Amino acid sequence: MKITFRGVRGSIPVPGSLTRLWGGNTSCISIEGAGEDLIILDAGTGIRTIGTRLMDEKKYKNIHIFITHAHWDHIQGLPFFEPLYSSNFTIHFYSAIRKDFHCRDIISKVMKPPYFPYTIDDWKAVVHFHDIIPGTDVQIPGCRISSAKLNHPWDATAFRITAADKSCVYVTDTAPFDHMILSWDFVGRAPDLTSMPLTDEAPDLARMKSDLVNLCRNSDMVIYDTMFLDSDYNRNPHWGHSTPSHAIEICKEANVNQLVLFHHSPDRSDEALDIIKKDFAAYPDLKVFVARELLTLDLNKEGK
Ligand SMILES: [Zn+2]
Ligand SMILES: [Zn+2]
């Protein structure tokens, strides 16, 4: 199973001299060798270059795109994903159903004028939209995708990709599970963390955390939202993101030995990411990677 990072940022693309080395595109990962088809996780701006490559090399006909949630940084590359405009492809979208908001709505509601000149009716590919329920599995040729609900405003979904004897888990975007539940109603300002969690939220937080730990358990690699450092989290815990310590805690509990720090803050410069890489280079009993644009990790070569 080969995992290639096409976009590693959260929130907004940040091209420019400060992000030249680690990359400025928003969240998108491609996975090859997990079954017969191409898998794509999220459709941030990083998806554009995969599209160009797919048009050129004609290696895949079927593409499965899993969308964690509808925030801009996870869908904003889609209008420029060329295979959608080609009849040579069959493209499946998957996302969790939220209230009466379906997978199709995530895309069709912004893929139209005045936001963009084309609508989904202009796509030439054969497109299928699949609503999924976190906690249930999706089977595609040669690969199983399991999921769990994350702690994020308007909910996000973690995906575990299992094929043959390899698996990786994609966990973005999520807050940790020790302070508050973030869901439909956006918390507009930072709450006082010393009074959290509220008694009525504690059991649900514990359940959400154990579902995620179970999803990650014994997997070969976990890719985790680490947009925050500790000071960022203390300032904005209601934004729904984690720190490397939160990610490490989940990996330890789930018996995972390889972690990829992902969904970097747009404010994190190349220099800052170099320091993070160095800080975690010799972490005991855990191999920590920092996601860099166009980095490929091959689970058949990386070992525990
Ligand atoms: Zn995000
Ligand atoms: Zn988000």
Q: pLDDT (tens digit, 9 = 90+) per residue, 279-296?
A: 999 999 999 999 999 999
Ligand 1 centre and the CA of 95: distance in Å? 15
Residues lining ion ligand 1 (Cβ < 5 A) are 10, 73, 173
- Phi, psi angle pair for 302, to nearest 5°: -70, 135
Q: Which ligand is nearest to the CA of 28?
A: 1
The sign of the dihedral angle between the CA atoms of 89, 120, 50, 251 is negative
Q: Which ligand is nearest to the CA of 240?
A: 2
Rounded Cα distance between 35 and 39, Å, is 9
Is 298 within 8 Å of 1 (Cβ atoms)?
yes
Report pLDDT for 303. Answer: 63
Ligand 1 centre and the CA of 279: distance in Å? 24
Q: Select from 206, 214, 102 the least CA-distant residue to 147.
A: 214
Is 212 within 8 Å of 227 (Cβ atoms)?
no
pLDDT at position 304 over 60: no
pLDDT tier at 200 (50, 70, 90 boundaries)?
confident
Ligand 2 centre and the CA of 56: distance in Å? 32
CATH superfamily of the domain spanning 2-298 = Ribonuclease Z/Hydroxyacylglutathione hydrolase-like (3.60.15.10)
Q: Give the pLDDT mean for 31-41.
A: 97
pLDDT at position 219 over 80: yes
**Residues 18, 260, 168, 90, Cα dihedral to 10°:** 0
pLDDT at position 10 over 80: yes
Ligand 1 centre and the CA of 294: distance in Å? 18
Q: What is the mean pLDDT of the chain?
A: 95
pLDDT tier at 93 (50, 70, 90 boundaries)?
very high
Report pLDDT for 52. Answer: 94
Rounded Cα distance between 188 and 180, Å, is 13
Rounded Cα distance between 148 and 43, Å, is 19
Q: Are strands 166-171 and 221-225 parallel, antiparallel or unpaired?
A: parallel
Report pLDDT for 123. Answer: 98
List the chain domain ranges: 2-298
CA-based Rg of the chain, rounded to a whole angstrom?
A: 18
Q: Select from 225, 251, 257, 240 the least CA-distant residue to 177.
A: 240
pLDDT at position 244 over 80: yes
Ligand 1 centre and the CA of 96: distance in Å? 16
Q: Which ligand is nearest to the CA of 150?
A: 2
pLDDT at position 188 over 90: no
Report pLDDT for 195. Answer: 78
Report pLDDT for 12. Answer: 98
Strand partners of residue 228 = none
Ligand 2 centre and the CA of 105: distance in Å? 17
Report pLDDT for 191. Answer: 80
Report pLDDT for 7. Answer: 98
Ligand 2 centre and the CA of 303: distance in Å? 30
Ligand 1 centre and the CA of 274: distance in Å? 21
Task: Report angle CA 284, 174, 42 to the nearest 5 degrees.
Answer: 100
Q: Are strands 38-41 and 62-66 parallel, antiparallel or unpaired?
A: parallel
AA identity, residue 186: F
Identify the weakest region by mean pLDDT among 87-91, 199-203, 220-224. Answer: 199-203
Q: Give the pLDDT mean for 40-57.
A: 96
pLDDT at position 125 over 70: yes
pTM confidence score: 0.96
Ligand 1 centre and the CA of 87: distance in Å? 30
